[in-house]
């Protein structure tokens, strides 16, 4: 283990029974080290990740992949040239409810997708932003409520609904001071299928609500709330809906074969998805296959996030950049 705050890094290493090194260079020089997890500020992911890849290590990077596409593409290129595995922590793809929704959409259970809504109405105190010099900075945080907090739900939205082709957005800084990124953002996204979705991300919704993803089609609807399936209904054989709809009735989520993880980490997030993603990454390294959330996959949500920011900056509708060149 290595970190920029030696005292904290040494204490964490001792807590977990790990060796501690003063610098990343020393850590990466170890011949008995196969893989590293990069948990530095977002704007340093490419710098540290590329060094690890070129040292022959497999790399799992915390979200987001980077704060810009040029840096992200350098990291992807390094993984290709070294033949090492590169994964990105977007653990909510491993939530049982999210995977069930993804599989249901791919199986056509919701019919033709028509609309969606991604909402992250959270609260972060001023003390949160003041706790680290990198927090709330464009250079190292890359953005605010969207890039740092909302990226997980935005990633799920695109994962489930398919390729995003246009985004129109507005951002604002309304409830915090001394930061140069947004604490509130709203957007409309159009997908290649023609479906539309709205996005709300904020760290200024006191005292903080849950993250929510709704997906609707002409044969069914589903809602994820707080990592669980809060609503699920698909049209049964021979079923015809009421002319004016069910107004929220007909929920069948309780009957779905889903496990719910009761264990939570100190932030309130479920622990199992992190473990499942780490296990998938290790399996990918051993089996020589891409991890479930590869660098290329994570680049898609980064491109959508950056397109949202560009739209807010220019007032124009923006097309997200496509996947990096092979």
Active site residues: 63
Q: Is the dihedral of CA 117, 173, 300, 275 positive or negative?
A: negative
d(CA 277, CA 135): 26
Give the residue carrying structure tokens 């709203």.
Answer: 186
CA distance 137 to 160: 30
Q: What kind and span of H or E run contains 155?
A: helix 151-161
Alpha-helical (H) ranges within 36-95 are 45-54, 69-82
Q: Is the dihedral of CA 6, 8, 9, 13 positive or negative?
A: positive
CB contact set of 17 (below 8 Å; sequence gap of 6+): none
Could you give the strand order of the β-sheet that contains 35-38, starting from the edge strand earlier in sequence?
35-38, 58-62, 86-89
Residue 107, C-beta contacts closer than 8 angstroms, at least 6 positions apart: none
The torsion region of residue 219 among left (phi > 0), alpha (psi -120 to 50) and beta comes to alpha
Cβ atoms within 10 Å, residue 176: 21
Q: Are 295 and 79 in contact (CB under 8 A)?
A: yes
């Amino acid at each position: 283990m290595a970190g920029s705050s030696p005292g904290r890094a040494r204490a964490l290493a001792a807590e977990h029974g790990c060796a501690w090194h003063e610098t990343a260079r020393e850590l990466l020089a170890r011949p008995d080290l196969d893989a590293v997890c990069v948990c530095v500020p977002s704007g340093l992911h490419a710098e540290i990740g590329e060094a690890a890849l070129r040292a022959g290590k497999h790399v799992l990077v915390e979200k987001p992949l980077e704060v810009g596409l040029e840096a992200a593409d350098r990291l992807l290129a390094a993984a290709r040239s070294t033949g090492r595995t590169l994964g990105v922590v977007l653990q909510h793809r491993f939530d049982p409810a999210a995977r069930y929704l993804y599989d249901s959409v791919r199986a056509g259970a919701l019919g033709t997708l028509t609309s969606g809504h991604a909402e992250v109405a959270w609260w972060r105190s001023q003390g949160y932003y003041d706790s680290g010099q990198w927090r709330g900075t464009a250079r190292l945080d890359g953005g605010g409520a969207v890039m740092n907090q909302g990226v997980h739900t935005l990633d799920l939205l695109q994962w489930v609904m398919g390729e995003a082709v246009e985004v129109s957005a507005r951002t604002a800084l309304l409830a915090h001071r001394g930061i140069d990124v947004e604490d509130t953002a709203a957007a409309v996204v159009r997908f290649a299928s023609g479906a539309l979705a709205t996005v709300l991300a904020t760290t200024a919704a006191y005292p903080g609500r849950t993250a929510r993803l709704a997906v609707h089609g002409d044969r069914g609807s589903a809602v994820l709330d707080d990592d669980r399936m809060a609503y699920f209904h698909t049209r049964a054989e021979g079923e015809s809906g009421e002319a004016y709809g069910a107004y929220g009735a007909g929920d069948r989520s309780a009957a779905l074969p889903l496990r719910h993880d009761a264990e939570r980490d100190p932030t309130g997030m479920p622990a199992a998805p992190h473990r499942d993603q780490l296990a998938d990454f290790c399996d990918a390294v051993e089996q020589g296959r891409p991890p479930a959330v590869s660098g290329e996959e994570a680049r898609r949500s980064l491109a959508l996030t950056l397109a949202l920011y560009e739209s807010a900056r220019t007032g124009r509708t923006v097309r997200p950049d496509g996947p990096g060149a092979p």
